[in-house]
Amino acid sequence: MDITLIPKKQVQPFFGGKMTFLKIIPFYLVLAAAYGGLYYYEQKLLVEKEGVDAEIQKIIQERKIETEEKVLLLDKQLKNLGNLLGSHIYVSRALALLEETAHPKAQFKSFSVDAGKATMELAVSAESYLALAKQIVNFQTSPDILKAEITGISINPDGKVDFQAILDFKPEVLKYKTAKK
């Protein structure tokens, strides 16, 4: 026979022994409360879903197909207009550039534009050779003018210096600029 100084405790299983039924009741109560909560939440979601479905059906019934088609047509037309504007030539920008680069003592007498080549031929009259030189410098220092060619320099009866200028613009100077998004 074994002699033990410390008696061994009998470990009783949770689901065994006395009062097993009383130990399980809290577990079933928690389980029932969780199930009831989930059932209530499901019913609440079903009611909300029915409300949302009813709103969607109402919106679908109030929908105006002709208006939607008009909006789609307008969108298509605006895209076509954008393409048209993108290929349109704006000579007014070249004229604004001439105004910016004009020397105060030089007068533009006539001009002709070749939009396809982005060039402009000018007949200019300057008060002096110095004014002519300053006008040439203004053309050459403009970032939007690629090349300025001067020909036919002569002095007119009024003592002014007449000359012809051929300006080659950057192609984007004459193009439509879209607003940045």
In the predicted structure, residue 181 carries a pLDDT above the cut 50:
no
What is the predicted pLDDT for the residue at 175?
76
> What is the secondary structure of the chain as a DSSP string?
----SSPPPPPPPTTSSTTHHHHHHHHHHHHHHHHHHHHHHHHHHHHHHHHHHHHHHHHHHH--HHHHHHHHHHHHHHHHHHHHHHH-B-HHHHHHHHHHH--TTEEEEEEEEETTTTEEEEEEEESSHHHHHHHHHHHHH-TTEEEEEEEEEEE-TTSPEEEEEEEEEPGGGGB--PPP-
pLDDT on residue 109: 94
Class of domain 91-174 (CATH, top level): alpha beta
Lowest mean pLDDT among 46-50, 83-87, 150-154, 174-178: 174-178
Domain boundaries, the chain: 91-174
Q: What is the pLDDT of residue 157?
A: 93
User: Each residue of 166-180: pLDDT tens digit?
Assistant: 999 988 887 766 544
Q: What is the pLDDT of residues 87-127, one digit of tens each?
A: 777 788 888 888 999 999 999 999 998 888 889 999 999 99
